[in-house]
Amino acid sequence: VSAAIAIIKEEGLGGLTTRRLGQRLGVQQMAFYTYFRDKNEILRAVGLELLGRFEIPQAAPSDIELLRAVMWEYFRLLIDNPELLELDPYIDELAPERLRVLEAIHGCLHRLGIDKHAAVGTASNLRRLVFGTASVYPARRAWDDEADHWAKIGRELTALPPDVYPHMHELGRDFPAFTQHQVFEFGLETLLAGIISGSTEHPL
């Protein structure tokens, strides 16, 4: 599994093949079929290992700050291990590696006085926001690295025909810069604020 992870880190998930893995371990590709039924089982084992590395924050000044810290760690885990996005479906819903995280999240929500209905809804959407953010992150990585990327996007938007895209054209002027962390912070804080304000079914 650690050899598989090493390959994934070097060449991505697509670079992980049984032949490549055997080559790394000085063995023929067929040797793995003694330990894993098929390649999917290898992928599941890798997914479990990566999710198991989630270091759940144990203490914080308040439950809302603890919940915030947990979600930031989840975000970081998926950014650092983007393969986990694709491997997550292989992981059982009740696997300990997953339950640990859910236990921490629902612990915070319970102590915050959130009822079960709102807790399930909130936990589900916090996860979806993290997954959605992580899934678009690879394409946005450059936005953080290149200092003038946002200015460039702004110029491209301003260059759009104002009669077809009036709002996108206008948006390009003084296009507000965001790091990907700031975007996530914006969404996370909005969802967390929804908890506190006591929204359940229809916040509006």
CA distance 93 to 37: 20
Residue 62: name the closest of 126, 112, 116, 123 by CA: 112
In the complex, least distance from residue 110 CB atom to its own copies, rounded to whole angstroms: 5
In the complex, least distance from residue 39 CB atom to DNA, rounded to whole angstroms: 4
Residue 30 site contact among DNA, its own copies, none (CB < 5 to 8 Å, cut-off depends on kind)? DNA
| Binding span for its own copies by CB under 8 A among 26-34, 40-48, 51-59, 186-194 | 186-194
CA distance 154 to 175: 5
- Structure tokens of 188? 């996370």
Q: Are 191 and 126 in contact (CB under 8 A)?
A: yes
Does residue 24 interact with DNA by CB under 7 A? Answer: no
Residues 6+ apart with CB under 8 A from 168: 157, 160
- Mask of contacts with its own copies, 64-83, x by CB under 8 A? x-------------------
Does residue 29 interact with DNA by CB under 7 A? Answer: yes
- Structure tokens of 186? 């914006």
Does residue 22 interact with DNA by CB under 7 A? Answer: yes
Residue 22 site contact among DNA, its own copies, none (CB < 5 to 8 Å, cut-off depends on kind)? DNA
* Contact residue for DNA among 5, 39, 52, 125 (CB under 7 A): 39
* Contact residue for DNA among 1, 6, 12, 19 (CB under 7 A): 19
CA distance 24 to 18: 10
- Structure tokens of 102? 């859910």
CA distance 139 to 156: 17
* Contact residue for its own copies among 116, 141, 146, 148 (CB under 8 A): 116
10 Å CB burial of residue 88 (0-12, 13-18, 19+) is middle
* Contact residue for its own copies among 1, 27, 31, 99 (CB under 8 A): 99
In eight-state DSSP terms, residue 42 is H
Does residue 6 interact with DNA by CB under 7 A? Answer: no
| Binding span for its own copies by CB under 8 A among 2-10, 20-28, 33-41, 86-94 | 86-94
Interface residues with DNA (CB under 7 A)? 16-20, 22, 27-31, 33-35, 38-40
